[in-house]
């Protein structure tokens, strides 16, 4: 994984500063919308770990997003657990284990077969939740209270406050970005990059590519669980729509829209898509048509996503000024997967 350039680091820090001050002048609706955007950014970032870095296109990623929401609701209703410090690790851990089990089956396939297996498994989760009365059926389950951050009778922050919840979501987004980047720049991440570029060659070098891809699948599932946990806590309800393939499809559109294989691309894509949805819905009842045209235009005109519009020229100018040519792209050979 390439190091971040100075212009890019500056732009990311400027965006972070803007997000920090945003609740101070934004109305309540936009604070809640900003929280929703950050939830989808974490979810899309988790999918990008599969699509952009491991070449595993999944249409069932919402299974872990929805599973986290149902886990939070069940922990509150059936076990009386409301502590953030208890429910969050249990939920994320459950999603990681579920992803490990699903991945152990799905990763044995590749290409279109992998897509269909992940889609089929996610739909199994969907119909199970939809048809199980104990889980509320099609109506879903209510989450009575926001998770409590209380520790030994002292609460460092209160998630019932919408601004505090916004900052909690922002902290989760920043932590997810940094943790995902740490994974990708590690030796594990370099092996993942080798698998993405040429899996047969990585296998010939002695790496168990199946294990590495399975590990990344579990990591992505854990991040998706974090997003689902925050999303369900914000909405106060979880229903089968959290598990639907439409949710996975939206995340995939965000990844493609922002830019695959960048981490910051899905974040930009989430902000762009949800902001556009909000504006278009207020303009016309045919707002989905506008969204579709926008996505098609981005795919045709900016195949590397929105990040290429703002960063490509800047980074290119810096490299030319330094006299360094960009590193060559990996060459696909005959027989590559």
Residue pair 297/257 in contact (Cβ under 8 Å)? The answer is: no
In this structure, the chain runs to a length of 337
Place of tokens 């019932």: 160
CA angle at residue 271 from 40 to 70, to 5 degrees?
15
Residues 39 and 333: their CA atoms lie apart, in Å, by: 39
Q: How many domains does the chain have?
A: 1
Phi-psi region of 153 (alpha: psi -120 to 50; beta: other; left: phi over 0): left
Tokens matching residue 4: 């971040």
The H or E element that residue 41 is part of is helix 28-51
Tokens matching residue 37: 């955007």
- Would you tell me how many other CB atoms lie within 10 Å of the CB of residue 164? 15
pLDDT at 1: 66
Tens digits of residue pLDDT in 153-181: 788 888 999 999 999 999 999 999 999 99
Tens digits of residue pLDDT in 193-213: 999 999 999 999 899 999 999
**Per the domain annotation, does 250 fall within a domain?**
yes
Give long-range contacts, CB 8 A cutoff, 24+ apart: 268-271.
268/305, 268/306, 268/307, 268/310, 269/44, 269/305, 269/306, 270/37, 270/38, 270/40, 270/41, 270/44, 271/37, 271/41
CA angle at residue 211 from 209 to 216, to 5 degrees?
95
pLDDT at 320: 43
**Per the domain annotation, does 335 fall within a domain?**
no
Write down the pTM of the prediction.
Answer: 0.89
How many C-alpha atoms does 148 have within 13 Å on its Cβ side?
Answer: 13
pLDDT at 322: 47
pLDDT at 317: 41
Nearest to 172 by CA among 26, 41, 9, 13: 41
**Per the domain annotation, does 332 fall within a domain?**
no
**Per the domain annotation, does 331 fall within a domain?**
no
- Would you tell me how many other CB atoms lie within 10 Å of the CB of residue 142? 14
Residues 190 and 211: their CA atoms lie apart, in Å, by: 14
Nearest to 223 by CA among 274, 180, 181: 180
Residues of the chain with pLDDT under 70: 1, 310-337
Residues 158 and 308: their CA atoms lie apart, in Å, by: 39
**Per the domain annotation, does 311 fall within a domain?**
yes
Question: What is the residue-wise DSSP string for 235-271?
Answer: HTEE-GGGGSHHHHHHHHHHHHHH-TT-SHHHHHHHH
The CATH number that applies at residue 22 is 1.10.3470
Residue pair 59/112 in contact (Cβ under 8 Å)? The answer is: no
Range of the domain at 93: 6-322
**Per the domain annotation, does 290 fall within a domain?**
yes
Tokens matching residue 262: 């960048």
Tokens matching residue 45: 């970032």
Residues 116 and 319: their CA atoms lie apart, in Å, by: 41
Nearest to 45 by CA among 317, 322, 307: 307
Residue pair 41/231 in contact (Cβ under 8 Å)? The answer is: no
pLDDT at 154: 82
- Would you tell me how many other CB atoms lie within 10 Å of the CB of residue 273? 23
**Per the domain annotation, does 337 fall within a domain?**
no
**Per the domain annotation, does 228 fall within a domain?**
yes
Nearest to 229 by CA among 272, 181, 165: 165
């Amino acid at each position: 994984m390439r190091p971040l350039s100075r212009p890019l680091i500056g732009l990311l820090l400027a965006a972070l500063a803007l997000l920090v001050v945003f609740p101070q002048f934004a109305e309540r609706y936009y604070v809640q919308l900003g929280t929703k955007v950050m939830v989808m950014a974490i979810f899309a970032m988790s999918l990008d770990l599969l699509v952009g870095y491991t070449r595993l296109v999944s249409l069932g990623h919402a299974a872990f997003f929805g599973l986290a929401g149902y886990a939070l609701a069940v922990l509150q209703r059936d076990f009386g657990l409301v502590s953030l410090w208890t429910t969050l690790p249990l939920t994320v851990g459950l999603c990681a284990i579920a992803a490990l089990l699903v991945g152990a089956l799905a990763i044995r396939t590749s290409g279109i077969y992998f897509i269909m297996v992940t889609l089929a498994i996610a739909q199994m989760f969907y119909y199970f939740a939809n048809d199980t009365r104990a889980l509320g059926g099609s109506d879903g389950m209510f989450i009575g209270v926001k998770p409590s951050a209380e520790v030994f009778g002292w609460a460092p922050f209160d998630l019932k406050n919408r601004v505090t919840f916004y900052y909690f979501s922002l902290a989760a987004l920043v932590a997810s970005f940094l943790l995902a980047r740490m994974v990708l720049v590690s030796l594990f991440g370099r092996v993942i990059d080798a698998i993405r570029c040429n899996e047969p060659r990585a296998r010939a070098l002695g790496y168990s590519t199946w294990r590495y891809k399975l590990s990344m699948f579990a990591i992505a599932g854990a991040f998706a669980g974090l997003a689902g946990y925050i999303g369900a806590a914000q909405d106060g309800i979880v229903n089968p729509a959290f598990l639907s393939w439409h949710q996975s499809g939206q995340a995939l559109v965000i990844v493609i829209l922002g830019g695959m294989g960048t981490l910051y691309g899905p974040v930009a894509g989430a902000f762009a898509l949800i902001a556009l949805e909000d504006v278009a819905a207020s303009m016309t009842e045919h707002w989905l048509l506008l969204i579709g045209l926008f996505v098609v235009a981005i795919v045709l005109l900016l195949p590397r996503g929105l990040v290429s519009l703002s960063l490509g020229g800047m980074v290119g100018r810096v490299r030319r000024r330094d006299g360094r040519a960009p590193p060559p792209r990996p060459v696909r050979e005959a027989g590559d997967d």
